[in-house]
Amino acid sequence: MSKINLLVIRTKEPEELKRQYELLGFVFDYHQHGNGPHHFASEKDGFVFEIYPLTKSMEKADGSIRLGFDIEALKQKVTEIANSNWKIVSPLAETEWGLTAVVQDLDGRKVELKNT
């Protein structure tokens, strides 16, 4: 079985998107590899989540990708998110996968949040 260890998303507004994902509990550092672009990276338990600026050939971010994260204290976190620039697509609900909510980031990506 495989395990995901890296996820890279791109955006026109890296600083703003970083702030959104920090609300989910990610802690980012500012990075640059060689001559590559500066970007934000968060690493925990062997998983690296990176936010890069759009490439020169990209006009907008890919908003079709759907992400999912386990979140501690989900009810409290959704309350915090409701008072931010995240859009709540589906409020907290008990599902067959447990307590979940779906939010949308500034680029239109849907992010499923599940209680850990």
> CA 54 → CA 3, 18, 44, 91, distances in Å?
26, 14, 24, 30
The two tokens of residue 55 are 């490439």
Please choose, from the candidates 73, 75, 72, 64, the residue with its C-alpha nearest in 3D space to the C-alpha of residue 111: 64
Q: What is the average pLDDT across 50-55?
A: 97
Q: Which pLDDT belongs to residue 57? A: 94
Compute and round to an integer the Cα radius of gyration of the chain: 15
Model confidence at 55: pLDDT above 80: yes
**Which CATH number is 6-115 given?**
3.10.180.10
Average pLDDT over residues 58-73: 94
Q: Say if CB 41 and CB 50 are below 8 A apart.
A: yes
Helix H or strand E encompassing 14: helix 14-22
Q: What average pLDDT does the segment 45-49 reach?
A: 96
Model confidence band, residue 33 (pLDDT cutoffs 50, 70, 90) = confident
Mean pLDDT value of segment 79-94 = 95
Q: How far apart, in whole angstroms, are the C-alpha atoms of residue 26 and residue 43? A: 8
What are the boundaries of each domain within the chain? 6-115
Q: What is the pLDDT of residue 113?
A: 97
pLDDT at 54 over 90: yes
* Residue 8 pLDDT > 80: yes
**pLDDT given for residue 1 in this prediction:** 82
User: What was the pLDDT predicted at 38?
Assistant: 95
